[in-house]
Amino acid sequence: MASGQQWVLVEMVQAFYEAPAYHLILEGILILWIIRLLFSKTYKLQERFDLTEKEKEELIEEWQPEPLVPPVSKDHPTLKYDIVTGPPSHKIIVNGKECFNFASFNFLGLLDNERVKKQALASLKKYGVGTCGPRGFYGTFDVHLELEDRLAKFMRTEEAIIYSYGFATIASAIPAYSKRGDIVFVDEAACFSIQKGLQASRSFLKYFRHNDMEDLERLLKEQELEDQKNPRKARVIRRFIVVEGLYINTGDVCPLPELVQLKYKYKVRIFLEESMSFGVLGEHGRGVTEHFGVNIDDIDLISANMENAVASVGGFCCGRSFVIDHQRLSGQGYCFSASLPPMLAAAAIEALNIMEEDPEIFTILKGKCRHVHKALQGIPGLKVVGESFTPALHLQLEKGSGSRDTDVKTLRSIVEYCLDRQIALTQARYLEKEEKFLPPPTIRVVVTVEQTEEEIDKAVHSIREAALAILN
Amino acid sequence: MTESSANKSANGEVCHRATNGIKPGRNGFVKNHYLYQQQQQKYCCPEEKVHHATCNGGLYSRPFNESFEETPMLVAVLTYMGYGILTIFGYLRDFMREWKIEKCHIAREREEQRDFVPLYQDFENFYTRNLYMRIRDSWNRPICSVPGAKVDLVERVSHDYNWTFDYTGRVVKDVINMGSYNYLGFAENTGVCAEAAAKVTTKYGVGVSSTRQEMGNLDRHEEMEKLVARFLGVESAMAFGMGFATNSMNIPALAGKGCLILSDELNHASLVLGARLSGSTIRVFKHNNMQSLEKLLRDAIVHGQPRTHRPWKKILILVEGIYSMEGSIVRLPEVIALKKKYKAYLYLDEAHSIGALGLNGRGVVDYFGLDPRDVDIMMGTFTKSFGGAGGYIGGKKELIDYLCTHSHSAVYATSMSPPVVEQIITSMKCIMGEDGTTVGRDRIRQLAENTTYFRRELHEMGFIIYGNNDSPVVPMMLYMPAKIGAFGREMLKRNIGVVVVGFPATPIIESRARFCISAAHTKEMLDTALSAISEVGDLLQVKYSRHRILPSLDRPFDETTYEENED
């Protein structure tokens, strides 16, 4: 040991002897105090929360949950549905009144097509109704494989996959690819099933203004700057643009060529929901890609339902095998749900046959759409929302009253007025609290190939009369 | 240590679940073993025994026998080794594919999009590429007939180790179908149901092309809903086009932020998705374990919401009637007692149990002889027992009124196809005996007999089978990954179609085969199937069971197992 240290020790002992007693006592107390502080808990966490059994019982006794569901007022506009007696085809009986149908999305009139019914019946005779299992467990029928094959051929893609429910198609497809941490650029007007799919994916959502490519590019640029800051993270964040071909909520079409340009510029994948445009747009009814002459391989995934133009039930996704095949194990609505009843698949195949044999039908539909669109212009108090070639238009109040409920009631009286004059219309329904961007209340006008000029004129006339009687 | 083997096995089961259920990837057998011992020691004290003997006394009108025999240690070790070897070979082959030594069949990204962020992470598909692909032929087998007691399969072969399939054009005739959920045998192409459906197809067509709230509410839908309500014994009911969506689209309408959902750990994906979409807080209790549920309920009410400590707005318990992978039946009398005591709401998913359980085929409520009004939300599907498609929700009138106006499905999804609706109406009337025959009642009885017979025989052969003695879903344990594919193929060779399942549908070591018994199976069919199963069982050595007389299972609960679950 060094002598210096020894010296210090001696000094300390010396100091101890020399120190006054009160000083030593004080220091002793201080040391004891420190020891106490070290070994005692400053506060008792446990004490604050530990309730006795009796207190717990009291709390449990005291707790009153909210009712399972809030009461629904008797005059809620959607509590009583309109009842359709008999088939929902061109001529339809709504609430006991026989009408011409301007409300069902039966664009090509295939719902009561004899050929379709015949194939459905043949299939029923062979397979029965239900499938009694998901695709994985003996729920795959040869008809399903055929339908998938036919859809892929029809759309000229590598592969197609069918779902048993239209709504579940895009809602399952999105979360199969886009996960937590990924970024989705989505149009504000996107339909509800897209919104649900996005919610299930738990991805980071960036909404751009409806059909506003500048706004989208602004967001993409923002993201690009963000990526430059953190290039390592950027390498694993997947990006998607989700748009609809023909928007069900606004009746207009997405600017696909611009979107494809942006896709390659910013390296984002495009998911396209074509429920309204499949079997409607394009020379052969292939939808919005054909409408714009865009190469279908430039779109990463196309999803559509077979419930509108095809007039069956279910939905499908198509695209390259690299993309689509993934859903066979990751698409929740595909894996965990019973497969599509074979008779509905058979009906869809026959509908595809009809569409392939007679592409003229799409030209006729477009002609009718233009006619209706033109005829509906200039009705006082109502404005037409939607492109001239879209078969599902919206009629919106030119001047809203400011209260949604009042507007809905006004529109309802127009619908009732038309119902009495043999024209079946319906309002577009939304869940007001659930929609991210709630569209204004509107009446749907659906154009189908079965409607004759006369019927269209009659419908337009009734709507005009109703508007004059009710809005003025 | 004078406890009977019954309790030991029950204990083993509990620890087993504790590690398996939540984190399938991390379930070390070593840990199981450790817990097992710990519990055995605990079990020496008599209070524990009394406690679990009384906890379900008096509530059950009939014996409730459910068994989950413990995985034999050697089997578990071998299973892990199997996965280990598969993984090593998987990496080896991935390496060879990378260096183009092995031909690569995987679909590739487009050349134009090579510089995009990859759509899949490489490890994401490791399992699919290297494990699933080897035995892919056991799933998605296409059929070309009614999915009844016997089916015709489309023959397919693969020349590139299951990457692609070629159809030979031949048909494998009369395969005994042990896979379809055709419990009451209503998957038929003849008879009253098919005739009625055909008539409706001719009149209505197959589509609707509109939603319920817009122009798609047909008179047939209204009739079906009234019938469903009567069948279930509830005030009102509503039907939806897809069973999966019934859960995933209606739970968000019932619960939201500030609500608590207590969900069984083995609930179906649709319930899990629905709970997630609702935005509520979700807590998971151990499978069918009432002590675990009660603890969660107590804690929830006493402590309120995390951080804010506000009381929960409401608590919703999600359970299934029959669990489709375990074959277990929910302990409904106890759940109802708890739900009443703690004022929670009960959502019962009867996807597999409706039609298949109970003297009148009215599901698990009927099976236990309970009052359907005690269940707040009665949910079920039409796919299985009724041979249709879609799902329903039944309950009080206020509930259904609310769903009419707020269900996502009613507002945005196309309504059900009329022939499917007709199939449901006809088959349901048949089950209720309203068609004037006893066909429905006979089928229910037949199903119960078939179930008892099949389960007993399998058990006597020495297989480990899971679940309740009365459940028509019969999972039989295979454990090892190699046996999954082998069992499926060997059974098909003997003209029997079975379902085999492995991870991720089950915990990683608990791969199994699953048989679904149907009223349409004749005794001869079951005997043929049983002798084939026994033969293949000997061949593959899957007769693992170490005790022939199964103990009745009361799953005890203790803190240690619960804590496992918490983290």
Structure confidence by residue, pLDDT tens digits, B42-83: 333 333 333 333 344 567 877 888 888 888 899 999 999 999
- Report the distance separating Cα A448 and Cα A104, nearest Å: 9
- Report the distance separating Cα A129 and Cα B200, nearest Å: 12
Question: How close does chain B come to A326, measured CA to CA in Å?
Answer: 9
Q: Quote the pLDDT of residue A463.
A: 95
Question: How close does chain B come to A338, measured CA to CA in Å?
Answer: 7
- Binned at pLDDT 50, 70 and 90, residue B381 comes out as very high
Nearest residue on chain B to A63, alpha-carbon basis: B301
Q: Identify the burial level of A334 via C-beta atoms within 10 angstroms of its C-beta, where 0-12 means exposed, 13-18 middle and 19 or more buried.
A: buried
For residue B481, say if its preceding peptide bond is cis, omega within 30 degrees of 0: no
Q: Cβ contact (<8 Å) for A65 and B205?
A: no
CA B434 to chain centre: 30
Q: Quote the pLDDT of residue A360.
A: 95
Find which of A50, A59, A129, A280 to mutate to test the B interface (most B CBs within 10 Å of its CB).
A129
Contact status, residue B500 vs residue B98, Cβ threshold 8 Å: no
- Binned at pLDDT 50, 70 and 90, residue B552 comes out as very low
3-class DSSP assignment, residue A275 = coil
Question: Phi/psi class of residue A268: alpha, beta or left (left: φ > 0; alpha: ψ in -120 to 50)?
Answer: beta
Contact status, residue B163 vs residue B105, Cβ threshold 8 Å: yes
Q: Identify the burial level of B479 via C-beta atoms within 10 angstroms of its C-beta, where 0-12 means exposed, 13-18 middle and 19 or more buried.
A: buried
Q: Which two tokens stand for residue A119?
A: 């194939």
Chain A residues in contact with B205 by the CB 8 A cut-off are 87, 89, 111-113, 116-117, 120, 311
Q: Quote the pLDDT of residue B58.
A: 67
Closest CA to A164 of B413, B393, B153: B413
Chain B residues in contact with A347 by the CB 8 A cut-off are 206-207
Contact status, residue B420 vs residue B390, Cβ threshold 8 Å: yes
Nearest residue on chain B to A144, alpha-carbon basis: B142
- Report the distance separating Cα A68 and Cα B332, nearest Å: 20
Kindly state the average pLDDT of the residues B534-549.
Answer: 85
- Report the distance separating Cα B127 and Cα A350, nearest Å: 38
Q: Which two tokens stand for residue A317?
A: 């996704």
Chain A residues in contact with B241 by the CB 8 A cut-off are 165, 167, 313
List per-residue pLDDT tens for chain A, 472 residues long. 455 667 788 888 888 788 888 888 998 999 999 998 888 766 665 555 677 888 888 889 999 999 999 998 888 888 889 999 999 999 999 999 999 999 999 999 999 999 999 999 999 999 999 999 999 999 999 999 999 999 999 999 999 999 999 999 999 999 999 999 999 999 999 999 999 999 999 999 999 999 999 999 999 999 999 999 999 889 899 999 999 999 999 999 999 999 999 999 999 999 999 999 999 999 999 999 999 999 999 999 999 999 999 999 999 999 999 999 999 999 999 999 999 999 999 999 999 999 999 999 999 999 999 999 999 999 999 999 999 999 999 999 998 888 999 999 999 999 999 999 999 999 999 999 889 899 999 999 999 999 999 999 999 999 999 999 998 7
A396 contact B CB<8A: no
Query: Which residue's structure tokens are 């009144």?
Result: A97
Count the Cβ atoms, other than its own, within 10 Å of residue A127: 27
Q: Of A68, A116, A424, which has the smallest distance from its Cβ to B399's Cβ?
A: A68
Element (H, E) at A380: none
Contact status, residue B102 vs residue B93, Cβ threshold 8 Å: yes
Question: How close does chain B come to A193, measured CA to CA in Å?
Answer: 8
Q: Quote the pLDDT of residue A53.
A: 86
B224 contact A CB<8A: no
Q: Quote the pLDDT of residue A78.
A: 83
B164 contact A CB<8A: no
Phi and psi torsions of B435, nearest 5°: -85, 0
Chain B residues in contact with A138 by the CB 8 A cut-off are 141, 143, 147, 151, 177, 179-180, 497, 499
Q: Cβ contact (<8 Å) for A322 and B116?
A: no
* Mean pLDDT value across chain B: 85
- Report the distance separating Cα A312 and Cα A349, nearest Å: 10
Q: Quote the pLDDT of residue B514.
A: 95
Q: Cβ contact (<8 Å) for A424 and B215?
A: yes
List helix spans (H) across B21-136: 29-42, 46-54, 73-98, 126-130
A269 contact B CB<8A: yes
- Report the distance separating Cα A23 and Cα A16, nearest Å: 10
Question: Residue B308 pLDDT > 80, yes or no?
Answer: yes
Q: Quote the pLDDT of residue A23.
A: 86
B389 contact A CB<8A: yes
Residues 112-171 (A) with a CB less than 8 A from some CB of B: 112-113, 116-117, 120-121, 124-133, 135-142, 144-145, 164-168
Structure confidence by residue, pLDDT tens digits, B181-231: 999 999 999 999 999 999 999 999 999 999 999 999 999 999 999 999 999
Give the full edge-to-edge strand order of the sheet including B150-157: B150-157, B166-177, B496-497
Closest CA to B369 of B336, B323, B339: B336
- Binned at pLDDT 50, 70 and 90, residue B234 comes out as very high
| 3-state SS, one letter per residue, for B408-450 | HHHHHCECCCHHHHHHHHHHHHHHHCCCCCCHHHHHHHHHHHH
Contact status, residue B381 vs residue B239, Cβ threshold 8 Å: no
Q: Please report, for residues A351, B59, B297, the alpha-carbon distance to residue A67 in angstroms, rounded to integers and kept in the order given.
A: 47, 27, 17
Q: Cβ contact (<8 Å) for A267 and B116?
A: yes
Name the pairing type of β-strands A426-427 and B377-381.
unpaired
Structure confidence by residue, pLDDT tens digits, B418-442: 999 999 999 999 999 999 999 999 9
Q: Quote the pLDDT of residue A134.
A: 94
Q: What ipTM, to 2 d.p.?
A: 0.88
Phi and psi torsions of A278, nearest 5°: -70, 130
Structure confidence by residue, pLDDT tens digits, B236-280: 999 999 999 999 999 999 999 999 999 999 999 999 999 999 999
- Report the distance separating Cα B167 and Cα A140, nearest Å: 14
Nearest residue on chain B to A145, alpha-carbon basis: B142
Q: Cβ contact (<8 Å) for B206 and A307?
A: no
Beta strands (DSSP E) in A114-197 are 159-163, 183-187
Q: Quote the pLDDT of residue B478.
A: 93
B122 contact A CB<8A: no
A338 contact B CB<8A: yes
Q: Quote the pLDDT of residue B548.
A: 54
Q: Identify the burial level of B114 via C-beta atoms within 10 angstroms of its C-beta, where 0-12 means exposed, 13-18 middle and 19 or more buried.
A: exposed
Question: Residue B9 pLDDT > 80, yes or no?
Answer: no
pTM listed for this prediction: 0.87
Question: If you write DSSP's letter for every residue of B452-497 in order, what string do you get?
Answer: HHHHHHHHHHT--B-EETT-SEEEEEEESHHHHHHHHHHHHHTTEE
Radius of gyration of chain B (CA): 24
Contact status, residue B264 vs residue B241, Cβ threshold 8 Å: no
Q: Quote the pLDDT of residue A454.
A: 94
Chain B residues in contact with A166 by the CB 8 A cut-off are 413-414
Read off the amino acid at residue A86: G
